[in-house]
Amino acid sequence: MARPGFSSQLSTLLDRTLMIYLGSPSTLLIMLLQPPLVGAILGLAWKDQEPTNATFLCMAIAAIYIGAMNSATAIVRERAILERERMFRLSIWAYLLSKAAVLAGVCVAQMVLLLVVQSNLMHLPAGVGNHLLLAVALTLAAACATGLGLSISAFARSTYVAVLLVPVLIIPQIVFTEVVLKGGIDRQIPEVVEKVTITKWGYEALYMVGHDGPWGDFVGSAAMMLLLLVGFLAVAAFKLKLDEV
């Protein structure tokens, strides 16, 4: 029997992944309730105030944590199914892209909910355009973190280990930031680590919106997050292919 083409597999896997989440209302509800709670925490921390650099950093971290947690168990909990389907020449990239695409859609809804609650408690940059750009920046950070979560899930051997690995990989992204280290970021190791963190580019995109920065810098930060997403998916694909050897 000939293997279905990539586009055919991707379409089927997209439908299946979507049905998995829609078929579990409790899981979907938890995923959609978490962002408003985080938005409330952020909004109350700077209640009736203008955002600071720390605000934008915390927003980026929140988006990264939510995105990574969305996907950290997505592969490991289906490991047995995946191994069986690989016997029938399942495309690893179609599988990963189906997960990433559906979860990116979830990220859009989550980040909008986060911003709606947060903006009602504090003074975020005014205007529909700025709110839209904030949503785009947060969604890109969350979607990129979804790729990180899928990488974690590809390496983990249990859902318990996958969940434990999320904070382990997020903490360095908090520590190695210009906002935290300030002048110390110029040292060789922190500077190199910072450049490959989602936090740096998510924070910079949010910062550009908050300070009415140049469009080029926002687009550059967005492009870096997309590049990191591709990199994380490549790492996950490499590990899944390695498991077949």
pLDDT means over runs of 10, the chain (245 residues): 77 91 89 96 96 95 97 92 80 94 96 96 91 97 97 95 94 86 69 87 94 89 97 96 80
In this predicted structure, what is the pLDDT of residue 155?
95
In this predicted structure, what is the pLDDT of residue 170?
92
Spatial separation of the C-alpha atoms in residues 151 and 162, rounded to whole Å: 10
Structure token digits, residue 13: 């896997």
Coil, helix or strand at residue 165: helix
Spatial separation of the C-alpha atoms in residues 245 and 242, rounded to whole Å: 5
In this predicted structure, what is the pLDDT of residue 2?
55
Asked if residue 107 lies in contact with residue 28, where contact means CB atoms within 8 angstroms, the answer is no
Round to the nearest angstrom and report the end-to-end CA distance of the chain: 23
Asked if residue 235 lies in contact with residue 154, where contact means CB atoms within 8 angstroms, the answer is yes
Coil, helix or strand at residue 62: helix
In this predicted structure, what is the pLDDT of residue 194?
82
Core vs surface per residue 118-127: b (16+ CB within 10 A) or e: bbebbebbee
Spatial separation of the C-alpha atoms in residues 150 and 75, rounded to whole Å: 7
Asked if residue 185 lies in contact with residue 60, where contact means CB atoms within 8 angstroms, the answer is no
How much is the pTM? 0.92
Q: Please, which contacts does 85-89 make with residues 24 or more away whose CB atoms are closer than 8 Å?
A: 86/244, 88/3, 89/3
Asked if residue 197 lies in contact with residue 111, where contact means CB atoms within 8 angstroms, the answer is no
The alpha helices in the chain, defined as continuous H runs, are: 6-22, 25-45, 53-71, 79-86, 92-119, 128-155, 159-175, 178-181, 188-195, 198-210, 215-242
In this predicted structure, what is the pLDDT of residue 195?
84
Asked if residue 179 lies in contact with residue 52, where contact means CB atoms within 8 angstroms, the answer is no
Spatial separation of the C-alpha atoms in residues 242 and 182, rounded to whole Å: 40
